[in-house]
Amino acid sequence: MTAPLIEARDIAVRFGGLVAVAGVSLTIQPGDICCIVGPNGAGKSTFFNVLTGTVKPTSGEIRLGGEDFTGRPIHAFARNGVARKFQVPSVFPSLSVADNLRVAQRRGADEMALADVLDLLGLTQDAERPAGILAHGQKQWLEIGMALATEPKVLLLDEPTAGMGPEETQRTVRLIREIGSRSAVAVIEHDMEFVRALGVRTLVLHQGRVIAEGSFEVVASDERVRDVYLGRG
């Protein structure tokens, strides 16, 4: 039996008096695609920051491949195959699409790998154009590609469909499924429609706690989730 790629146990994060994450556990195995959903301020990004080593948890434990990484620096996480896309896109606007990907690629990665990622993103036609002139959705895909170019074991995406229309969102859902055949993926979202479309194991966070976990059907029919999402609470 192989150890999980990521195992977060009872993670808590406090910022001064504010408890942003209050005891969240998550296990990511090879081949997993999972989704973390919750309203603004639920603690989703902070929890992701713990998974990537950006934020050290106040308490709890984080293991990569069975090894304790709690408190280790961000590059240790990156070297062990954890890649992330931030909530705000940050491509290099004056570089070409292909060069943005080359910057991100692992040393020794070749042009075949580059062509493969461009194809996956649907950006082959745009490879030599400056990234700054891409449409918003394409910039988001390019940034996903930059994380993917590092050939991670786990890719963490923080609100990859932010600002996208329905069509771009559907394409992103397909892209995430395709990425799922290469690396494990965990996606943060606040939109339940996206979660329904993706249809994977989902963790619902509210005020730093997990209030429901399971398939979309299970979490969408949960009373507490309905209260939080339909504003009944």
**Which residues contact Mg ion by CB under 5 A?**
45
**Which of ligand ADP, Mg ion, none does 20 bind, CB closer than 5 to 8 A by kind?**
ligand ADP
Could you tell me how far CA 194 lies from the centroid of its own chain? 14
Distance of CA 153 to the CA centre of its chain: 12
**What SS3 state is found at 222?**
coil
Helices (H), the chain: 44-51, 74-79, 97-104, 111-121, 136-148, 166-179, 192-198, 216-220, 223-229
Per partner kind, with CB cut-offs from 5 to 8 A, the member of Mg ion, ligand ADP, none near residue 52 is none
Q: Which of 10, 15, 66, 68 contacts ligand ADP by CB under 6 A?
A: 15
Number of residues counted as binding ligand ADP (CB under 6 A): 11
Judged by CB under 6 A, the stretch of 35-43, 71-79, 118-126, 139-147 that binds ligand ADP is 35-43
Based on the shown chain and the rule CB under 6 A, indicate whether residue 38 belongs to the binding site for ligand ADP: yes
For residue 48, the minimal CB distance to Mg ion (Å) is 8
Residue 46 near residue 207 (C-beta atoms within 8 A): no
Residue 160 lies near ligand ADP (rule: CB under 6 A): no
Q: Is 150 in the site for ligand ADP (CB under 6 A)?
A: no
Residue 213 CA to residue 232 CA, distance in Å, equals 20
- Which stretch in 43-51, 78-86, 195-203, 214-222 sits in contact with ligand ADP by CB under 6 A? 43-51
Minimum CB distance to ligand ADP smaller for 26 or for 117: 26
Near ligand ADP by CB under 6 A, which window of 41-49, 137-145, 149-157, 210-218?
41-49
- Residues 176-196 as b/e (b if ≥16 CB within 10 A, e otherwise) read beebbebbbbbbbbbebebbe
Q: Does 46 bind ligand ADP (CB under 6 A)?
A: yes
What angle in degrees, to the nearest 10, is found between the helix axes of 111-121 and 136-148?
Answer: 140
46 versus 52: smaller Cβ distance to ligand ADP: 46
Stretch of 33-41, 71-79, 130-138, 160-168 lying at the interface with ligand ADP (CB under 6 A): 33-41
Q: For residues 64 and 28, what is the distance between their CA atoms, to the nearest angstrom?
A: 10
Q: Would you tell me how many other CB atoms lie within 10 Å of the CB of residue 230?
A: 9
Q: Give the closest residue to 76 by CA, choosing from 99, 45, 53, 101.
A: 53
For ligand ADP, the binding residues (CB under 6 A) are 15, 18, 20, 38, 40-46
